[in-house]
Structure 1
Amino acid sequence: MLKHSAKLVNMEIAFSMRWISFPAILLSSLTLFSTASQAHPHSWIDMKTYIQGDKKQITGFKMVWTFDAMTTAYMLDGEDMSPESKTETLARVGDSVMKNMMNEHYFTYFYNDQEPIKYKIATDGVLTKDRAKATLTFELPLSKPQPLTKDSLRLLIFEPSYYVDMAWKAKNDIILSPELSKVCTFDLVEPNPSPEQMLYAQSLPPDADPDNALGQLFTQTVKLHCQSAD
């Protein structure tokens, strides 16, 4: 898979990068890295997504996003993580992340054919830290329930400029609610950028304006197949 091959190459050169403090990433839409390297991306998020609903409709998503160790370190750089302050610090940083992601639609794109499906404001945002990695958990309800369709629903989660690699590591990182699982299945489709697109992404200079078309080229797609309630 081209995306994950590129990820391994980028990890090998990550220590040569000049980073802006991580709060600038999620707190300013995940796109403010500065680096001497020309490689992309600069941060990695492993995702679990719980698709919520019943036998007739989808109502929203529960997200569990785990940041790589280096990103976590920069996220909390300069923060008071002493035992007596850790809980308060994580709550404050997590709240800031959630507020700023709202302006980017939580990097989540849900479609019925070509029509985007809208969300309410995310709730229950919680940032935790286990050893070297931080995890952000939140609920993302739809503005109104989406009726099930046979093949037209698809879900993508990505940072548009591809500075941040957001990926499901395996198909079982996408979980249907018990009721949905009775009437729906899904495919996890890996990205298939061309060699030219790969070379373009890797050739962008550090001072280039973000290319907000890159992320979608390198993102996975969940395609839902459901028994319509019609």
Structure 2
Amino acid sequence: MRRNLHIKIRTVALATAFWAPVVLAHPHSFITLVSTVMVRDGQMTGLKMQWTMDEITSADLLYDAGDAKPDSPVWKRLAAEVMANVLGQHYFTEFWHNGEKVKFNNLPTEYSLARVKHQAVLTFTLPLAHPQPLSGQTYTFATFDPTYFVDMSYARPTDATLPKELAQNCHITVKTPQPTENTLAFAQSLDKADAPPEDMGLGKQFAQQVTLQCQ
């Protein structure tokens, strides 16, 4: 498996195959995204991210956590393990400005893992390597699993948000792509043991694109 983030996810998926209806198509797991642009001194410094995993994906993590209290070492250890895998894939996020990639810091300034009912929620900062100007600028970013094993998407366009100080001068939108019929058919043909060719970028073809535009 190329992506360590999926180890627990795949374990759960294989275990449930014995009692759940077989679903052949990618994706097999789902993460719901919420993001907020972070600002300091009139410049963008990063994103505040919240990833809510579906109940089946969450089950293994929540089992490991047991009855541990939210501030216990158990939750901190699990958060560190998950965050290490996210960092290994550059936060599963691409950030663009004027046709060039914007670089991230190697480490988040904060992160945590929590239980919300029957779901695991990872919250963290995605810091930019250098603060970026906002006035008159346009940025785009997308969060996705390149293999499309995990669907990572916003449930509502309003889940990509701006802080109050940017509301008058900036606008943020979420665009959901429309993959071709051939791409959809290919994704649906993949079973749990399959992985698409790495150079295909299957996940990127399904990735929602967030655009931040400021006056």
TM-score tier (shorter): 0.7 to 0.9
Which of residues 11, 24, 32 is equivalent to 1:46? 32
1:90 partner amino acid? W
Deviates most, 205-214 or 110-119: 205-214
2:5 partner amino acid? L
SS at match of 1:75: helix
SS at match of 2:48: strand
Q: Which residue of 2 aligns with 1:177?
A: 163
Q: Which residue of 1 aligns with 2:100?
A: 115
Q: Which residue of 2 aligns with 1:204?
A: 190
Work out the percentage of aligned pairs sharing the same amino acid.
Answer: 33
1:174 partner amino acid? A
The answer as to 2:82 corresponding to 1:101 is no
The runs of at least 4 aligned residues of structure 1 exceeding 6 Å deviation read 29-33
Alignment of 1:155-194 (within 5 A): 155-194=141-180
The answer as to 2:213 corresponding to 1:225 is yes
Are the counterparts in 2 of residues 43 and 163 from structure 1 also a CA contact under 8 Å? yes
SS at match of 1:141: strand
Deviation at 1:57, TM superposition (A): 2.4
Q: CA 1:76–1:29 in structure 2 vs 1: closer, same or farther (change >3 Å)?
A: closer
The total of aligned residue pairs comes to 204
Deviation at 1:27, TM superposition (A): 6.3
In the alignment, the residues of structure 2 paired with residue 86 and residue 220 of structure 1 have an alpha-carbon distance, to the nearest angstrom, of 33
SS at match of 1:159: coil
RMSD: 2.7
Structure 1 gap ranges (5+): 1-19
Q: CA 1:30–1:107 in structure 2 vs 1: closer, same or farther (change >3 Å)?
A: farther
Deviation at 1:86, TM superposition (A): 8.0
Could you tell me the TM-score, scaled by structure 2's length?
0.83
Q: Which residue of 2 aligns with 1:216?
A: 204
1:26 partner amino acid? L
Q: Which residue of 2 aligns with 1:26?
A: 5
Q: CA 1:31–1:80 in structure 2 vs 1: closer, same or farther (change >3 Å)?
A: closer
Deviation at 1:124, TM superposition (A): 1.3
Deviates most, 127-136 or 45-54: 45-54
Q: Which residue of 2 aligns with 1:124?
A: 110
Are the counterparts in 2 of residues 128 and 136 from structure 1 also a CA contact under 8 Å? yes
In the alignment, the residues of structure 1 paired with residue 8 and residue 147 of structure 2 have an alpha-carbon distance, to the nearest angstrom, of 10
In the alignment, the residues of structure 2 paired with residue 113 and residue 29 of structure 1 have an alpha-carbon distance, to the nearest angstrom, of 37
Q: CA 1:104–1:206 in structure 2 vs 1: closer, same or farther (change >3 Å)?
A: same
In the alignment, the residues of structure 1 paired with residue 160 and residue 192 of structure 2 have an alpha-carbon distance, to the nearest angstrom, of 34
Q: Which residue of 2 aligns with 1:88?
A: 73
Deviation at 1:170, TM superposition (A): 0.9
Structure 2 gap ranges (5+): none
Which of residues 144, 165, 171 is equivalent to 2:130? 144
Are the counterparts in 2 of residues 26 and 100 from structure 1 also a CA contact under 8 Å? yes
Deviation at 1:53, TM superposition (A): 1.5
Q: Which residue of 1 aligns with 2:139?
A: 153
Per-residue CA shift, 1:196-224, capped at 9, x if unaligned? 11001111244434434011111111112
Could you tell me the TM-score, scaled by structure 1's length?
0.78
